[in-house]
Structure 1
Amino acid sequence: MNEKEKLQIKISEVLNESHAIPEEKLAVMMMFSFKLLSSVQAEMINMRVSDGRVLTLKLEDNSITH
């Protein structure tokens, strides 16, 4: 088992054992994703899921127009 698989198992176990509601779990995962994107200096990542769809996470500048 490689490190990626070990990490996936650990994260799954923590999420399954948590009593937090799904929305809170998702919020935590999104915060970690943001931190990881920042740490690798990336602005966007795409991941193809098993059914063929693509999950995209993108950091954008907040632009406000008046």
Structure 2
Amino acid sequence: MSDLTVWRDGNGEPIACVEKLRVLRENEAELRQAMQDAFEDAILMGVAPDEMRAHLMEMVSKLSEPGA
């Protein structure tokens, strides 16, 4: 993902609000760095790269929507 990411709402329409896009970009950058750091730490501690990737993907798949 990058600044070119097209973020869409529940109806499939692109998010156009500049402030919302700024927050989404910042969140994406912070998450990318945190995930990269956790990934590198795991590898340095002997976790197989594919194992860590699978764990990160599982964590994402278990995220719940607000109010759920």
For the criterion TM > 0.5, the same-fold answer is no
Give TM-score, length-normalised by structure 1.
0.37
What TM-score results when the alignment is normalised by the length of structure 2? 0.37
